[in-house]
């Protein structure tokens, strides 16, 4: 949910620029995975949920 802030906002753009390459890749992966599940009308299996410490 925290990944879904509007990227057009100046504050969000600055925050995204501060991400490491790995964090940026992981963010994009989570968004694409969510879109894929949405298109397929499937829920993400609980075993694949991101844990708070991650």
Q: Both tokens of residue 48?
A: 């694949």
Q: What CATH number should be reported for the domain holding residue 26?
A: 1.10.1090.10
pLDDT of residue 4: 61
pLDDT of residue 8: 72
Residue at 14 is within a domain: yes
Q: What is the pTM of this model?
A: 0.69
DSSP string, 1-54: -GGGS-TTSHHHHHHHHTS-HHHHHHHHHHHHHHHHHHHHT-PPPGGGSPPTT-
pLDDT of residue 24: 92
Residue at 35 is within a domain: yes
Residue at 53 is within a domain: no
pLDDT in tens, the chain (54 residues): 555 666 677 888 888 899 999 999 998 998 899 889 999 999 988 998 888 887
State how far the Cα of 13 lies from the Cα of 34, in Å rounded to an integer.
21
Count of domains for the chain: 1
């Amino acid at each position: 949910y925290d990944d879904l802030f509007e990227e057009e906002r100046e504050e969000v753009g600055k925050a995204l620029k501060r991400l490491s390459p790995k964090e940026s890749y992981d963010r994009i992966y989570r968004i694409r995975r969510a879109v894929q599940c949405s298109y397929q009308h499937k829920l993400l299996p609980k075993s694949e949920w991101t844990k708070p410490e991650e």
